[in-house]
Amino acid sequence: MTRPRPHILIPLAVLAALAGAFATSRAADDKKAAAPRPALTVTTARPATTRLPLRLDANGNVAAWQEAVIGSESNGLRLREVRVNVGDIVKKGEVLAVFDADVVNADLAQGRAALQEAEANAAAAQADAQRARALKSSGAMSEQQVTQYITAERTAAARVAAARASLSQQQLRLKYTQVVAPDSGIISARNATVGAVAGVGAELFRMIRQGRLEWRAEVTAAELPRMKPGLKAEVKAASGATIKGTVRTVAPTVDPQSRVALVYVDLPPSLSSNAPLKAGMFAGGSFNLGESGALTVPQQAVVVRDGFAYVFRLNQDNRVSQVKVTTGRRLGDRVEIVAGLPPDALVVTSGAGFLNDGDLVRNVPTAVPSAPAAPATVAKR
């Protein structure tokens, strides 16, 4: 009996082992290829509670605090000189214009002469009255004659008083030939023309008193109860400059057409022609109503799509869910989440703009940054 040859069985065993190893390796490769790959490597953070300033945005006109109308108090006089123009800064008592005073000086000289004549007649009448009183007891003069001299004395005294009043009137006319500023401020309009004959009360200049302006903010009736005198406000000029002011008063009525009320905000006085705010401008601003707590996330975590705000919440299976949220105020790079996000959610911060709902991501957690100390511009809620 012939025995099987062993050198034939050994290669068959080797081939079987190699085939098993190849099958195992191929199954592992197939399994590895079938495993899903992360779409993006992201960083995440949890919402933080931050103190944010409460602000109310409003719009309104900038106007003069008080505008003085400077008119003519002389009648029938020719304007001889105009010393100021629009935009000039004047001081209280400064001469703005001068009328021709020749006629007034002539009337003043006549008034002085009339006063001297009246005083002379009064002195003579007084002397006659004194003599009449002395002779009254002796009987040399009748009672009627004495009464006539005393009456003449009183009439002469009255004529002296009338002459003095007329002279004072002419002196006042001479004073009015110089138009002076009633207060310090900025000339905002000029109607005075050299050579013109102005009547009494004719407007010559307009002036912004003390250079003070006010912002007349328009506030709805629902927001009106929060407006109180003394509130701080910020007004933004067209140049980008921000001017701080204080609420002086709140209008007692609401406009029946627009349903808004005016809030008068005093602005710092400025007598410079380069002031950022001018009377007649339309400006926006905000009122500082205090602070309140808010749930905030980094600004880069908020994605705006189709007009709505979303954040991506990271789930336990490393997949993200797109969550619609309502945003509110802003402080630096932090955005307030008003509704739609629980406070313990883990949201994607970097890379959120490249994700879609249900994407698998690789998470690299980051620490929550601290809120800025100084308040910044806050958007209207």
Does residue 4 surpass a pLDDT of 80? no
- pLDDT band for position 8 (cuts 50, 70, 90): very low
pLDDT for 134 equals 79
- pLDDT band for position 205 (cuts 50, 70, 90): very high
Rounded Cα gap, residues 295 and 344, in angstroms: 11
Rounded mean pLDDT, 194-200 = 87
The identity of residue 317, as a single letter, is D
37, exposed or middle or buried, with CB in 10 Å at 0-12, 13-18, 19+? exposed
- Show the domain range for 169: 101-175
**Domain contains 137:** yes
In a shared domain, residues 91 and 184: yes
pLDDT for 17 equals 57
In a shared domain, residues 138 and 225: no
Rounded mean pLDDT, 70-90 = 90
In a shared domain, residues 156 and 146: yes
pLDDT for 99 equals 93
In a shared domain, residues 227 and 321: no
In a shared domain, residues 88 and 181: yes
- For residues 166 and 113, the answer to whether their CB atoms sit within 8 Å is no
**Domain contains 171:** yes
**Domain contains 11:** no
**Domain contains 13:** no
* Residue 293 vs residue 24, higher pLDDT: 293
In a shared domain, residues 136 and 262: no
Rounded mean pLDDT, 237-262 = 90
pLDDT for 358 equals 87
In a shared domain, residues 193 and 168: no
Domain at 122, CATH number: 1.10.287.470
In a shared domain, residues 218 and 285: yes
In a shared domain, residues 253 and 126: no
* Residue 74 vs residue 62, higher pLDDT: 62
pLDDT for 132 equals 83
**How would you classify residue 295: left for phi > 0, otherwise alpha for psi between -120 and 50, otherwise beta?**
beta
- pLDDT band for position 330 (cuts 50, 70, 90): confident
State pLDDT tens for residues 120-167: 998 988 888 888 887 777 777 778 888 888 898 899 999 999 999 999
Domain at 345, CATH number: 2.40.420.20
* Residue 158 vs residue 2, higher pLDDT: 158
**Domain contains 371:** no
- For residues 128 and 136, the answer to whether their CB atoms sit within 8 Å is no
Domain at 282, CATH number: 2.40.30.170
pLDDT for 80 equals 92
- Across the chain, mean pLDDT equals 83
Q: Is the pTM of this model over 0.95?
A: no
- pLDDT band for position 380 (cuts 50, 70, 90): very low
Number of separate domains in the chain = 4
- Using a pLDDT cut of 70, give the percent of the chain over it: 85
**Domain contains 30:** no
**Domain contains 165:** yes
* Residue 31 vs residue 348, higher pLDDT: 348
Rounded Cα gap, residues 149 and 52, in angstroms: 92
In a shared domain, residues 123 and 246: no
CB atoms within 10 A of CB 104: 20
